[in-house]
């Protein structure tokens, strides 16, 4: 596809176009088991979709096949006849696998798209599920081999591209080759009649899905293979050659000079030195305030002296999911060359018990001068975020600041894994987050960020304590972070949102379009937020 054609499509889609450097970098760094096709190769399988029909039992029934112009008329008519005889209803997750149809790839997976009159967000979610269902049906035919699959727009080309990446992810880097999943290459089903706008949107979606896969890969990686030093270097390698992007990795001395006592207190018990990654993407105008992202980067959380129970402690390798999401979203933002300025701050550390570790009852001083009684060393995420939030807000002066962290188990009790929790100090910012979550299918529920919770974090020996008891645990954590958002005349100087994603971190089954393991959620929502501000 020529650069001229991409530019034309970009104007139609109103999204910044990927340049040659960005697309090349995307192909080299995709962390999914699926790769965006770089060369022409035979197509092994094709995923197409059909809308639901309530008239399946009536004489003369014929399903409404969505593929449209991406299939020859004769092929489309042939498939419709087969589906009619098979009483294909077109319901979500319904699938028929067809073989050796004339003029088509050897395997064609026809998947149900649900109701044709669904709204855009519902249609997008149906497309994601459909793409995953179709990919699974084709993938099952290839054991330990290479396969090339193409996808139709499925009613929402961007969502189809997202799921093409998401549904083919496998974290098998450390397995023997014979135990690995098939290697897949994927692409949009192009033809001489393909819709150019659909093709571009599909490729944007693939980049967004691949960004989430990067976050999944980071979070799935064992903690001994992703220490703060390794994590920060990988982040630098991933981002520093992208357009308009600068990456700075700071160490303990830098944090000490900036008086980040809360952040430094968490890393005392570990032999691994702390790191602070700072990313600046300048895709907008020079005088425009940036959007700021802050991600919790605890590469392993034992709980420190307040040690966690051993059950499921291994999952705490994923306690850096906030950082993984921020880094991966920044990769997508820069790869897509969105016309916006974005800064990111990622404090990285381990939380370990030792003779050097912070003890319950110790007092630390944060960058903004507030003293904190560390009542529980397992509430460490809010300590590193406190300094990161204040530093980012004062150094970069963003218009909006989002912190993302696997912060509290209480949010899982409150919301489960369907919604993430959003604590927001501004109605306009909440609207952006809410709408972005609906577009991505990775939604948030607004929780109270109310000063009525503040008495629970008062301390007898310091300005604050880092826990507020069992009652309203996620709310007291959010109100603690709010103390580090700079204010003037008791009004915040920045629109602030704390996104508690602890309940989104891990998935135990492989239902939907995400396999079991770390989810990388809500990377695509963060990208959608950046796109919303870019407009």
Give the C-alpha separation, 439 to 434, whole Å.
9
- Report the distance separating Cα 104 and Cα 247, nearest Å: 46
Task: For residue 455, give the nearest of 426, 440, 475 by alpha carbon.
Answer: 475
Residue closest to 280 by CA, chosen among 350, 338, 345, 190: 345
Residue 162 makes CB contacts below 8 A (sequence gap 6+) with: 128, 205, 206, 208, 209, 212, 524
Per DSSP bridges, beta strands 400-405 and 371-374 are unpaired
Are the CB atoms for 529 and 436 separated by under 8 Å?
yes
Give the residue numbers annotated as catalytic, written as ranges.
308, 382
Q: Is the dihedral of CA 176, 177, 182, 187 positive or negative?
A: positive
**How many other C-beta atoms are found inside a 10 Å radius of the C-beta of residue 45?**
25
Tokens 């974005």 correspond to what residue?
A: 342
Which among 59, 107, 46 is positioned nearest to 87, based on CA atoms? 59
- Separation between Cα atoms, residue 358 and residue 299, nearest integer Å: 17
Please report which residue ranges of 261-340 form alpha helices under DSSP H: 261-267, 321-335
The continuous run of DSSP H or E covering 78 comes out as helix 73-85
β-partners of residue 405 are 500
β-strands 517-518, 400-405: how paired? unpaired
- In the chain the first and final C-alpha atoms are separated, in Å, by 25
Which three-class secondary structure state does DSSP give residue 292?
Answer: strand
Are the C-beta atoms of 33 and 25 separated by less than 8 Å? no
CA distance 41 to 147: 10
Q: In DSSP terms, which residues pair with 36 in a beta bridge? A: 186
What is the C-alpha separation between 146 and 177, in angstroms, rounded?
13
Q: Which two tokens stand for residue 316?
A: 């705490």
């Amino acid at each position: 596809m020529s650069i001229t054609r991409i530019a034309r499509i970009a104007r139609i889609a109103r999204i910044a176009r990927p340049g040659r450097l960005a697309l090349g970098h995307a192909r080299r760094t995709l962390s999914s088991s699926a790769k965006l096709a770089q060369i022409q190769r035979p197509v092994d399988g094709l995923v197409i979709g059909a809308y639901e029909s309530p008239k399946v039992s009536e004489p003369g029934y014929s399903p409404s096949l969505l593929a449209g112009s991406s299939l020859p008329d004769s092929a489309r008519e042939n498939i419709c006849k087969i589906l009619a005889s098979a009483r294909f209803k077109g319901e979500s997750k319904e699938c028929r696998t067809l073989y050796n149809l004339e003029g088509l790839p050897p395997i064609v997976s026809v998947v149900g798209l649900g109701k044709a009159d669904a709204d855009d967000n519902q249609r997008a979610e149906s497309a994601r599920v459909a793409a995953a269902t179709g990919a699974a049906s084709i993938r099952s035919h290839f054991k330990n081999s290479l396969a090339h699959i193409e996808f139709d727009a499925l009613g929402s080309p961007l969502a189809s591209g997202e799921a093409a990446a998401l549904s083919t992810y496998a974290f098998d880097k450390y397995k023997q080759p014979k135990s690995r999943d098939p290697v897949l290459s994927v692409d949009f089903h192009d033809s001489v009649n393909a819709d150019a706008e659909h093709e571009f949107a599909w490729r944007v979606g693939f980049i967004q899905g691949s960004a989430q896969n990067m976050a999944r890969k980071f979070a799935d990686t064992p903690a001994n293979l992703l220490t703060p030093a390794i994590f920060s270097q990988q982040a630098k390698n991933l981002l520093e050659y992208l357009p308009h992007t600068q990456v700075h990795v700071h160490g303990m001395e830098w944090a000490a000079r900036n008086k980040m006592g809360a952040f430094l207190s968490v890393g005392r018990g570990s032999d691994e030195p702390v790191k602070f990654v700072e990313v600046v993407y300048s895709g907008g105008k020079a005088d425009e305030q940036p959007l700021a992202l802050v991600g919790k980067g605890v590469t392993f959380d034992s709980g420190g002296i307040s040690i966690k129970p051993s059950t499921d402690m291994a999952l705490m390798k994923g306690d850096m999911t906030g950082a993984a999401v921020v880094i991966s979203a920044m990769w997508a933002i820069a790869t897509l060359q969105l016309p916006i300025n974005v800064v990111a701050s990622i404090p990285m550390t381990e939380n370990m018990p030792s003779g050097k570790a912070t003890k319950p009852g110790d007092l630390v001083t944060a960058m903004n001068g507030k003293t904190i009684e560390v009542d529980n060393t397992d509430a460490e995420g809010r300590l590193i975020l406190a300094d990161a939030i204040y530093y980012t807000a004062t150094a970069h002066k963003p218009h909006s600041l989002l912190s993302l962290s696997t912060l509290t188990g209480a949010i899982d009790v409150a919301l489960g894994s369907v919604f993430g929790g959003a604590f927001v100090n501004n109605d306009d910012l909440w609207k952006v987050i809410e709408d972005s979550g609906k577009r991505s299918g990775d939604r948030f529920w607004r929780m109270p960020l109310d000063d009525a919770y503040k008495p629970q974090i008062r301390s007898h020996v310091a300005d604050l304590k880092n826990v507020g008891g069992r009652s309203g645990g996620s709310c007291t954590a959010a109100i603690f972070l709010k103390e580090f958002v700079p204010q003037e005349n008791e009004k915040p100087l920045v629109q602030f949102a704390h996104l508690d994603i602890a309940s989104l971190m891990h998935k135990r089954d492989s239902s939907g379009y995400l396999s079991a393991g770390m989810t990388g959620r809500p990377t695509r929502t963060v990208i959608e937020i950046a796109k919303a501000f870019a407009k």
